[in-house]
């Protein structure tokens, strides 16, 4: 359809406008004054929302419904889908395996690989022991290394006081070991063993080479009072080579045993002071050079001395002699 047009023009004289415009053609087309938009053929019905589209739109504009649809339904679908998917045990296992595979791949990368173990701070024998105790299958991933357990295992070794494990760059596992230092030789019924200053077993004397002489102790419970034993040993230094060792008696007190089998019996309390007294006696009167079997210092008020049998007989003889002399003089 042609646009609706109004033209502003002079009316041609004598022309009836109801007669169809078959006027002589004008030379100049008159200017178009106004144009109206084209008449669109009217639709048979006006567009209107159907009752259902209207209701749906209203429902959609309801805030609660909107929230439910936007959050609730996706959440429900997600949860339901996840539940349905993971409800199958095989699938779960497959996913778990895949996860583990990825994990293993990451763990076995060279960046995390431990190839070398270095043990330091101990003698070769202990180092070998530590290596054996750790028992690592190298190279292995640092994720598989349980350093705390390894440390416990290393520290469980008798000759190791403490250990420090550290994974260093370049796949190096550094183990710093502090060895136990033997302080005493402890003689038991099973044999000779070395114990350190805290009484811990270090090694058997058979498979340990001593780099310096150690004091020897014996008796049950001697390893519990190593400190006291060391103090007594230090106090007994003036005895020199004559000291053979210390014997724990009744897990209560000490005997000092000398090389010729003589003993100094020390009290449970104040053992060092008592030993000093005995050494003072030795200085003053060379009591140990005499025919004495035991010096009993257990009673602090009274020093008791057990003589050797010949000396005892000699003393008895001298006493007899003295008594006879005295009676003779009285008689005489």
Partner 1 sequence: MTILYQSQRAMRAKRQEAMRRGVIAVLDIGTHKTSCLILKFDQTNTMGPAEGIGAMAGQASFRIIGAATTRSRGVRFGEIDMVQETERAIRTAVQGAQKMAQVRVDHVIVALAGARPRSYGLDGEVTLTTGTVTDHDVAQVLAECDLPDLGQGREVLHAQPVNFSLDHRTGLTDPRGHVGNRLSVDMHLLTIEAHAIETLLYCVKRCDLELAGLASAPYVAAVSSLVEDEQELGAACIDMGGGTTSLSIFMKKHMIYADTVRMGGDHVTGDISQGLHIPMAHAEKIKTRFGGVIATGMDDREIIELESETGDWHHDRRTVTRAELIGVMRPRVEEILEEVQARLEAAGFDHLPSQRIVLTGGASQIPGLDGLASRILGNQVRLGRPLRVQGLPQSTCGPAFSACVGLALFAAYPQDEWWDFETPADRLPARSLKRAVKWFRDNW
CB count within 10 Å of CB 296 equals: 19
Q: What residues contact 135, with CB distance under 8 A and at least 6 apart?
A: none
Stretch that binds partner 1, among 44-52, 76-84, 204-212, 269-277 (CB under 8 A): 44-52
Residue 54 binds partner 1, judged by CB under 8 A: yes
CA 230 to CA 219: how far, in whole Å? Answer: 15
Residue from the set 49, 99, 118, 270 that interacts with partner 1 by CB under 8 A? 49
CA 105 to CA 215: how far, in whole Å? Answer: 57
Binding mask 289-328 for partner 1 (x = CB under 8 A): ----------------------------------------
Tell which residue, 120, 176, 113, has the closest CA to residue 150.
176
Residue from the set 16, 26, 34, 329 that interacts with partner 1 by CB under 8 A? 34
- Cis peptide preceding 139, ω within 30 of 0: yes
CB count within 10 Å of CB 269 equals: 9
Q: State in angstroms the smallest separation of the CB of 72 from partner 1.
A: 18
Residue 26 binds partner 1, judged by CB under 8 A: no
Q: State in angstroms the smallest separation of the CB of 83 from partner 1.
A: 34
Residue 7 binds partner 1, judged by CB under 8 A: yes
Q: State in angstroms the smallest separation of the CB of 60 from partner 1.
A: 8
Q: Which is nearer to partner 1, 48 or 89 (CB)?
A: 48
Residue 16 binds partner 1, judged by CB under 8 A: no
Tokens of 297: 């210092």
Residue from the set 12, 15, 57, 115 that interacts with partner 1 by CB under 8 A? 57
CA 189 to CA 201: how far, in whole Å? Answer: 15
Contact predicate 183/197, CB 8 Å: yes
Residue from the set 29, 42, 260, 329 that interacts with partner 1 by CB under 8 A? 42
Residue 62 binds partner 1, judged by CB under 8 A: yes
Secondary structure class of 186 (helix, strand, coil): strand
Q: Which residues bind partner 1 (CB under 8 A)?
A: 1-11, 17-18, 20-21, 33-34, 36, 39, 42, 46-49, 51, 53-55, 57-58, 61-63
């Amino acid at each position: 359809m042609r646009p609706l047009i109004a033209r502003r023009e002079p009316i041609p004289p004598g022309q009836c406008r109801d007669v169809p415009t078959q006027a002589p053609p004008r030379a100049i087309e008159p200017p178009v004054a106004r144009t109206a938009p084209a008449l669109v053929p009217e639709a048979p019905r006006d567009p209107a929302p159907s009752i259902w589209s209207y209701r749906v739109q209203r429902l959609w504009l309801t805030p609660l419904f909107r929230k439910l649809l936007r959050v609730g339904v996706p959440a429900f679908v997600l949860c339901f889908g996840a539940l349905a998917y993971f409800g199958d045990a095989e699938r779960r296992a497959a996913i778990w395996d895949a996860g583990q595979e990825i994990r293993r791949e990451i763990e076995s990368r060279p960046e995390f690989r431990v190839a070398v173990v270095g043990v330091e701070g101990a003698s070769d024998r202990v180092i070998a022991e530590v290596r054996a105790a750790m028992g690592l299958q190298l190279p292995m991933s640092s994720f598989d290394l349980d350093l705390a357990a390894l440390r416990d295992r290393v520290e469980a070794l008798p000759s190791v006081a403490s250990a420090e494990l550290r994974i260093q760059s370049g796949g190096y596992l550094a183990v710093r070991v502090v060895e136990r230092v033997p302080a005493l030789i402890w003689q038991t019924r099973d044999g000779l063993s070395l114990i350190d200053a805290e009484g811990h077993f270090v090694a058997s004397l058979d498979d340990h080479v001593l780099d310096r002489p150690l004091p020897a102790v014996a008796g049950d419970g001697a390893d519990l009072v190593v400190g006291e034993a060391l103090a007594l040993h230090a106090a007994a230094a003036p005895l020199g080579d004559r000291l053979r060792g210390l014997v724990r008696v009744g897990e209560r007190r000490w005997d000092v045993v000398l090389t010729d089998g003589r003993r100094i019996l020390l009290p449970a309390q104040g053992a060092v002071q008592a030993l000093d007294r005995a050494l003072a006696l030795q200085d003053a009167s060379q009591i140990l050079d005499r025919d004495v079997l035991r010096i009993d210092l257990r009673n602090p008020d009274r020093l008791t001395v057990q003589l050797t049998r010949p000396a005892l007989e000699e003393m008895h003889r001298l006493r007899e002699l003295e008594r006879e002399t005295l009676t003779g003089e009285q008689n005489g």
